[in-house]
Structures are given as structure tokens and as C-alpha cells.
Amino acid sequence: MSCNPADALQHEVASLVVVRASGRLDDRQRRYPQWELNNEKLKRLLQRGVGGVILLGGSAVELQQRTRQLRRWSDQSLLLCADVEEGVGQRFEGGSWLVPPLALAHLHAREPQRALSLAERYGRCTGEQAKRCGLNWVLGPVCDVNNNPRNPVINVRAWGEEPDTVAALASAFHKGLSSTGVLGCAKHFPGHGDTASDSHLDLPVLPHNRSRLDQLELPPFKALIEAGVDSVMTAHLLLPKLDSEKPATLSKGVLTDLLRRDLSFNGLVVTDALVMEAITRHHGPAEAAVLAFEAGADLILMPADAEAAIKGISRALTEGRIPRQRLQSALQRRREALKRCASADDSNPQIVCKTDVDLEQELIQASLQLHPGGGIPAARGINLIRIDSVWPCPALSGQAPALHHPQGLGYRPVLIHPQGVSPWHNVPEAPLALDQLGDGPVLLQLFLRGNPFRGERDRQEPWTAALRQLQHQRRLAGLVIYGSPYVWEELKAELDPAIPAAYSPGQMPEAQRQVLQALLQGQIAKGETADFTD
């Protein structure tokens, strides 16, 4: 590090910046190059003092190599994190991909002690696998209360729809996670559950006053703070009753007055990604970073331009806009957090152990719902699959049961996705273009859940009308929903009792296997077929 005071200051500021990179070693394999730095720039920033990296993509074994590489490139201890809210396998192939947290909320209503035990095991599994991959910080648990079923971005990521449920399950997850020596993060403060828009695309407005926040949004955060959570992530949403001008991420009234003073949180405050449009539409990269740091954030996550953010904060400190004590407090919190981290346990390429596999299967079994309609018959028909991401879809890679199990019964797979051929006619009462899809019965499998960057587009698809259309024409062989319980409840209300159907909050291959095994048994063994003619 240079002895020049200006360089020394920038090096300190840089340690509070967390940039994004691919979990893959090769630049050419980056999936999102607009956000993921190439290796040349990443190495330069780490050598300049950048103190954290958020990683996404690749395999869990490759992530082991990647985190070792990043540590070699830096002269300081790094915060290495990932958004693995549903286990390491959600983002990194080969790790355990667990059912979304909302699945445990429904179990908690029936079997609270079992749900709490599973949530703790969920946290421990996530922490142990993160540590084996070289990560020391998990950006979870989500503490948002998903009381708004139309929420397009939280949805199944939440631990519940009631504050007490979220507080209990998120605390159990944190207990398991912290037992592994991996840092946790309560997010998105002060609560993103009651929004109908996506902060990746726009700035949501939460019109509630402090009394309402104390009643619904804040209890899970209070519980996690009391439990000693290491960090809290901010939300990009506007709360006019607390700050009429700045979103929570940039608001001193929210971060310093509410979070620090009123809730007595003394750990790290980290912004949500500053590249999200809720921020970039209104502020440049330097000013956004300055406003967040000025408001009380310690760590600047994914600024649109890391170098501009470092220079902007350094300038604000030099000119006296931000007191130097603000920098020293943030640096001290970072040092204290790193002291609590266990050493990486990345020498063993075996990421998943038997207890992890058992947990994954038990979570799926505990959250599976079956509609009493018998089994799906063998027939020459269509396996119509709607996936909620661009192809290739992680849930349908390789020998995905959703593709191959029905194929064994004669159902030809037809995939539709946001960037594929539209299956819709402009006919409200019969929207599905069955004439284009082909003849025969239709097994309908919908992979739908709240997803960032999609806004209301998924809800605009007329699946209720399509279900009625298929049933009216006696062409619906079965229905499976993977993901959103709200879509399941909406469509289940339209189902003929004789139609076999099932719901799983998980979309991973093991969830598909369990769902289809439950639906296909019975009539498959008998080789029965059904009459789908009028």
C-alpha cells in the first residue's frame, strides 16, 4: 500500500466495497458480463484494496478454486459472499439446493417444532457447504414478511407471511448458520414483503408509519438483532413516513436513526446491490455510494462503478462532508466481523455429505401437496412445461424428471419460456394455442415463483383461463406447480376433483422426482389410459 495519504485513504475505503464476480475461473464463462468483472479488472481492484466479492455461477468445486484465487490476489482478509438463500446448490452446481424458505412456514403452522428443527438444519447445511467452498458470508436469512401475495420479488424467499413465523424460522436458520462460523445477513431492512413492485426495476413505495412497521415489518429484524446477526442488508424502497426523499438504502433516518439508534444494531450494515434500477435511475455510481455511506451503510455492495464509488466516498471524507469517524467505525465493524469467521474448509472436494442429502429430501417430502385426483395416465400427449427463466434453465438441466418421467408415458415435451415462442391466442376464454401445440392430452407443469427482474409479467399470463380451457376440452391429464403457493391455490380452486395434481415449492430435480413419482404411480403400473374425447 502506498504511503501517500490520499492512496492510503482510498485503500481503506476500498476495503468497504463488495464487487460482483463469476464463480467460474474463465472470463468467457461469465453468465452476466454486464455485472461480473473480468479477471483483469477484478485482480486490479483487489490489489487496490477492495475488500469483498459476491460470487454467482459455476460449480461448487470450481468455487473452491475461485475463492482461493481471490484470496491470493489480495493482501487482506476478504469478505466472500453469495446469495444462497436456498442452499449453496441454488447458485453453484453440486451443492445442496433446498426448498424455498416459505415451504417451512406452511409446515410451521402444522408442526412448529419440526419446522424449527428443519430451519436450523437448513442454516447449518448452508453454512457448512459455504465454508467448504471458501465463502465466509451468506446473504441470508430473508427477514421480509411476505404478507402481500402479489409481491413479485420476495414471494417464496420469505420465511413466512406472519411476523412471528418469520422471526422464529429466520432465527432458527441463523442459529444453524452461525454455529458453522459463517457470517449471516438479515435482509431487506426495514422490510420488502408488502410491495407489489420489484426494486430491481423500480423504486417501491411503502406508505406505512412507524407503528405499522413495529407491528409487521420489524419484528423479524428485532429477533435477528437480539440473536446477534452479523449484518443487515438495506432495502431499495421509499418510506415517506420516515423519509420523504431518499429510499431506505440512502436514508439516515432509516439506517442511523431507526436501525442503529432505535433497534440498537451494532453490526455491519450492507447496501443491497447499488446496480439495481431503484438506485441507478436516480443517482450516479459515486453519489449513490456517498449517500449510502453517509446514511449509515458500512459496506457498499455492487456499485455500478467500483472505482467511482471509492473515489466519491474518499472525496466526501477529504472535504469533510462525511466525518472520518464514520470511516473508522465501518472499518472496525468489518474487522470484528472477520474475526468471527471460521477458517475456510475448502481442502475436501466433497461438498455434500449424507446428512445434507437427507435434509434436502426431507424438506421436499414435508412440503409436497397432492390433489386427490388419482394418477396421470399413459397417453400420446403433450408435456407442456412453462419455465420461469431463460433457457437453459437450471431446474431442467441434464436428465430432469419433469422432462423424462412423462416422456416414458408417451408425453412429448414442449417448453415455453419468456424468450421463446408464445403459446397464447388473443382469445380470453380460450387463450392457449392448442392448435399450434398438437393433439392429445396435456400434462401441464408450471415453474413459477417470484423472480427478480420479471415484475408483473408472470402474473399477466392467463393460466386460470388456460386451465378452464383444457378441462372444458377434456384435455388436461394433470397439473404440477413448482414454486409459488399462490399460483397453486389459485389454480387448485379451478381443478376438477378427478384431475391428478400436485404442488412443490421446490423446483430442483429431486422435487420433480418426488412429485412425479407420487402422481405417476398407480395407473402407470396398470398401463391404463384415459378417454380424452368428448
Q: Which residues are catalytic?
A: 200, 272
Query: Could you give the 3-state DSSP secondary structure of residue 22?
Result: strand
At a CB cut-off of 8 Å and minimum separation 6, what does 257 contact?
Answer: none
Least Cα distance to 51 among 23, 71, 30 occurs for 71
Instruction: Give the other-Cβ count within 10 Å of 501's Cβ.
Output: 25
Q: Quote the CA–CA distance of 119 and 126 in Å, as a whole number.
A: 11
Residue 278 contacts residue 247 (beta carbons within 8 Å): yes
Question: DSSP letters along 105-132, please?
Answer: HHHHHH-HHHHHHHHHHHHHHHHHHHHH
- Phi/psi at 181 (5° precision): 80, 15
Residue 361 contacts residue 422 (beta carbons within 8 Å): no
Going edge to edge, which strands form the sheet with 501-504? 369-371, 501-504, 476-483, 442-448, 381-386, 411-416
185, three cell numbers: 445477513
Residue 140 contacts residue 173 (beta carbons within 8 Å): yes
Pinpoint the alpha helices (H) of 351-481. Answer: 354-367, 401-407, 434-437, 463-472
